[in-house]
Amino acid sequence: MKLSTLQALVAAIEEGSLRGAAKRVGVSQPALTKMIRELEIELAAPLLVRTSQGVLPTAQGQVMFEHALKVSQELLAAIDQVRQLGGDMRGELNIGAVPVAVMLLIPETLRTFGQAFPHIKLRVSEELYIAQLQRLRSGQVDMAVGGIPQGLSSGEFVTEPLMTTSMVVVVRKGSPRAQATSLSALADAKWVYTGASTVTGYAQQLFERHGLQAPPVGAVVNSTVALLSLVGSGDYVGLMPKQIAEHPLAASLISVVPVAESGLPLTVGAIIRSDSVVSPAIRHFIAHLHRAAHQLNKLS
């Protein structure tokens, strides 16, 4: 089984067409079709279904695609690491970051890291907790920059704390609930939960921290835009990092509720898989994250 054949399968499934896949891998369409057919014969299983609109993976093809994608990514990462260890700082880093990190840490990190290592290609995707860990587990991102949750498996992940923030209570602009002075006054409200699940969501953690029963779940989201939309246009209550809640764009839609209880503290850090080989590029990126966090602390 050749790597080039696996890459042909990955290209076909990602492109959704044999023509597009052939162009991407730099071979003719008949040659690519032959490569995939040879792989199907070797595995004694159909991998693609031809449709009028292109190709789709079979169940067997999807399994093979997921493993082939991981193999390809790991090989490319290994090549980058070998070159970087030899002093050739080239390659690619894929970073998943939560909105507060994208707002406060990533811009300065990209500026200084980009100046120091102009030949490292950076891809940054904004996503919340659930998507971050899923993509980290699958190898789609090399590192996550986000809230370090309680109970995160140290056997699976390694964390590097960078900064702390506070999750504050927010409601829509003009809501009567904006005058609440305690969490108990909001206990009957519909809360938007963000986090791993309703079992470990930030709202539940905040209430339990102050000895209160968790509030009812109005909705569960994994998107800052969805959180802003629900809270900003409805009768929902949510939690949001203080820096985002006070940003002019968010402040035009929502208000921070002045409850007497302290907000939920959250440590933002770099998270990598414990079984991954930490490349020089990742080590340097973490160092630049620390530099950005230090600058932020000096300004606050």
Statement to judge: residues 147 and 289 lie in one domain: yes
Statement to judge: residues 32 and 45 lie in one domain: yes
Question: Of 293, 296, 285, nearest to 114 (Cα)?
Answer: 285
Residue spans of alpha helices (H) in the chain: 3-15, 18-25, 29-43, 59-85, 99-104, 106-116, 129-138, 202-209, 224-233, 242-245, 248-251, 280-299
Q: Tokens 């009957």 correspond to what residue?
A: 188
DSSP 8-class letter at 151: T
Name beta bridge partners: 193. Answer: 220
User: Is residue 42 a contact partner of residue 1, using CB atoms and an 8 Å limit?
Assistant: yes
- Residue-wise pLDDT for 270-295, tens only, equals 999 888 778 888 999 999 999 999 98
DSSP 8-class letter at 178: G
Statement to judge: residues 177 and 258 lie in one domain: yes
What pTM did the predictor assign? 0.68
Statement to judge: residues 159 and 273 lie in one domain: yes
Structure tokens at 206: 């905040």
Name beta bridge partners: 124. Answer: 95
CA distance 104 to 293: 8
Instruction: Examine the fold and report which residue of 38, 66, 82 is the final residue of a domain before the chain moves on.
Output: 82
CA distances (Å), origin 9, targets 18, 76, 252: 9, 17, 48
- Residue-wise pLDDT for 217-234, tens only, equals 888 887 788 889 999 988
3-state secondary structure (DSSP) of residue 280: helix
Statement to judge: residues 118 and 247 lie in one domain: no
Whether residue 74 has pLDDT greater than 80: no
Band (pLDDT 50/70/90 cuts) for residue 204 is: confident
Confidence (pLDDT) at 249: 85
- Residue-wise pLDDT for 191-203, tens only, equals 988 755 545 578 8
Statement to judge: residues 230 and 249 lie in one domain: yes
CA distance 219 to 79: 44
State mean pLDDT over 145-160.
81
Confidence (pLDDT) at 300: 63
Statement to judge: residues 151 and 271 lie in one domain: yes
Residue 123 sits in which domain range?
88-163+267-299
